[in-house]
Each structure stands twice: as C-alpha cells, then as structure tokens.
Amino acid sequence: MEGILTINNVWMMICTALVFFMHMGFALLEIGLTRQKNTINILFKNLFIITVGLLLYCLLGFNLMYPGEFNGYFGFAGFGLDSPLTDGSLDLAYNEGYTYWTDFLFQGMFAATAATIVSGAVAERIKLNSFMIFVILYVGIVYPIAGSWKWGGGFLDEMGFYDFAGSTLVHSVGGWAALVAIYLLGARIGKFKDGKIGAFPGHSMPFATAGVLILWLGWFGFNGGSVLSADPELTSLTLVTTCLAAAAGGVASFIFSSILYKNYDITMFLNGILGGLVGITAGADQMSPTDAILIGAIAGVIIVLGVALIDKLKLDDPVGAVAVHLICGIWGTLAVGIFGNMAGIDQFITQLIGVGAYAVFCIVTSFIIFYVLKLTLGLRVSAKEETEGLDIHEHGMDAYPDFGLNQK
C-alpha cells in the first residue's frame, strides 16, 4: 500500500512541477504577442502572480477551497496549513493518491493560473498597483470560493456538475474577470480608430511559439495530474485526449482562419492549440480519441470566431485570452454533456447551470474589484506612459537595452 502511495505521490509531484512550468509558457506567450516596450511589465506581473498566489493559497485559499463539511456555498477551515497527523507523523491515509503537502502544492499552482489569464488580456495599459490588488483579492478569495463549489464538495458537485481539470473552474474563472477588466479599461490607444481595427504586432513570434509549446507540455501535468493518482489507464487516456484536442484545435484554427483571411496566421495557429487544450480540460478523462479530436477542432473554429467577435465589440484583448480561456472554457464544459460518459440532456443542463453560476459570481466579484479600483487608484496608466511604454515608466528600465531600440 505504501509503495503505491509513493508512486502516486511522485507522479503528482511531477505534475505539480509541470503546472509550475506553465507559468513560463504564459510569460513567453504574453511578451511575444505584445510590444517590446511592455515586456518587463508583463514579466513582473507574472512573477507577482505566482509568488503572491502561492503565499495567499497557503494562508487563506486552500482552506477556503477545501473547508471540509460546509453549507455548499462558503466554508473556511482556518488560516494556514495544518497537516493531518497520526502519532506526531504525517497521516499517509490522508488520500490514497498523494500526501497533504502534495495536494496543497498541486492545487496552489492552479490558483495562480486564473489571474495569469487576466494578465494577458489587460496588458500594455493597466496600472501595476491596481493589478496587484486585484490579484490579491481574486486569487486569495474569489477563486477559492468558486473552486469549493465543485472541487471542495459544494452545491455544484452535489448537483452532478462535472469539470475534470478546470475548463470552467480555472479558465472561465479567469476569462470572466478578463472580460470585465478589458471592458472597464478600454482599448489601447490607436486600436480602434476611424472605424478600423489597428494592428499591434507582437514583438517576438519565437517567444510566443515557445510559450505555447511549453504550455502544451505543462498540460500533461494540468490534466494528467487531475487524475489525482498515477492510475495507468486514466492517466494515459487523459494525456492522449489532451494531445489530440490540442493538435485538432491548432489545425482547425489555422485552416479556418486561412479560408477567412487568405493568409496563414501563426497567432491563430497558436491560440487554436490553446483553445483545444482548454476545451478538452473539462472532460479529458471521459472522452474517446475521436471525441477529443472533435472537441478540439470545434474549439479551433471557436477561437477564430471569438477573436473576431471581441474585435467587433471593440474590446481590446492583446493575447486573445477571452476567446481562448472563456469561450473555449464554456465550450469544453458543455461538451461534457454532449460527448462524456454521462452525456444527455440532464447532464447538459447541469453543465449549463454550472457555467451560469460561475458567470454570475465571477462577473459580479471582478466588476466590484475593478470598478472600486477605477474610482480610487485608477485602472489605466496615462496616455504618455502607454505611448512610451510601461517598462520605462513603471520599472525604469528596458527589456533589451543592448539593442538600443524601444519599439513604439
């Protein structure tokens, strides 16, 4: 028994490391798809999210998300971590798949991801102080409460709502906040002018591509670890469906976008891969390979349409975070009711209720946070700071000083 626990625990720790590595992927993707003059600002935000996110999850979030017996909506097991002990030693019967400490660290990596999604959407024009306050409140309080409704055994879990690895609980929770943020922030200067959509090319497609490939690798831990053990059948199936959905999402996205726009857009290819990954995440353990390909391919098409919709609404999302994480997160969650083991009208309605519950909670809470910040500290940097770049004004340095360039 102890040997099996050790194997399971080692697998979970490897998956924890892979999910941690995803933060490097997010950082490279975001700086690659944005302008050079804001590189340090984006890197600073992502470092803040992972460091402060882990501390908050230790002090507050973990026990908000997993409070034990509670009313299904809100519970709190107390501040800090308090591992289960037997005769003064760690209780290895805590869970057959992993120890208490591994559980905390694995879940803590997920917590930070929700705010990282917002970071990309608000890039190049949000005040750093305001963003940091948002992260503290959203990662410290909002995300754990939302997570408790399903993964903590709350009312949605009792209802039968299913979200294997977080299409809704992680990606849509971040996506709803991103949507609210870009609505309140407004578009970057010059993005929408005289009825035309201005193009702001990212300064490094190699960085963006490396970021997506790192994220794909990290998803082996994100979804593979969500089996919560090293079960050979479930982990291997999960990794297969995850990879096939990613591949199908990328191919469908670049083909569909090339038909619409008459060019091979690598940013659509990259976001299509991510859309496929987000789409399969809710039901990766339930799908057949064919189902995974269909889910991923549909997500790839959704990405192209979603990016176009965001532009049409005159919302400015520099990295396509809302289309990838929110819209494809909703699709993946609903796909469980169409393709999953419990597929049917009842399960589909349950999935829809779950999507709606998270939408209301995340929109209301993120709107309150951002709107109060807008009225007090302000959300947006000055026009001069935005034009000259946040790196110089917020950080007093240039990401590439040896090149003597400061891309406008």
Segments making up each domain of the chain, as ranges = 2-400
Spatial separation of the C-alpha atoms in residues 252 and 296, rounded to whole Å: 8
Tens digit of pLDDT per residue, the chain (408 long)? 567 888 999 999 999 999 999 999 999 999 999 999 999 999 999 999 999 999 999 999 999 999 989 999 999 999 999 877 655 556 665 666 788 899 999 999 999 888 899 999 999 999 999 999 999 999 999 999 999 999 999 999 999 999 999 999 999 999 999 999 999 999 999 999 877 888 899 999 999 999 999 999 999 999 999 999 999 999 999 999 999 999 999 999 999 999 999 999 999 999 999 999 999 999 999 999 999 999 999 999 999 999 999 999 999 999 999 999 999 999 999 999 999 888 999 999 999 999 999 999 999 999 999 999 999 999 999 999 999 999 999 999 999 987 655 444
Spatial separation of the C-alpha atoms in residues 107 and 64, rounded to whole Å: 12
Q: In the 8-state DSSP scheme, what is residue 398?
A: -
Q: How many CB atoms lie within 10 A of CB 330?
A: 26
Spatial separation of the C-alpha atoms in residues 34 and 44, rounded to whole Å: 14
* Bridge partners, 380 (sequence order): 126
- Please identify, in words, the CATH class of the domain defined by 2-400: mainly alpha
HSE of 104 in the Cβ direction (CA atoms, 13 Å)? 22
- Closest residue by Cα to residue 164 from 332, 24, 9: 332
pTM for this entry: 0.94
DSSP per-residue string spanning 18-46: HHHHHHHHHHHHHHHTS-GGGHHHHHHHH
HSE of 140 in the Cβ direction (CA atoms, 13 Å)? 15
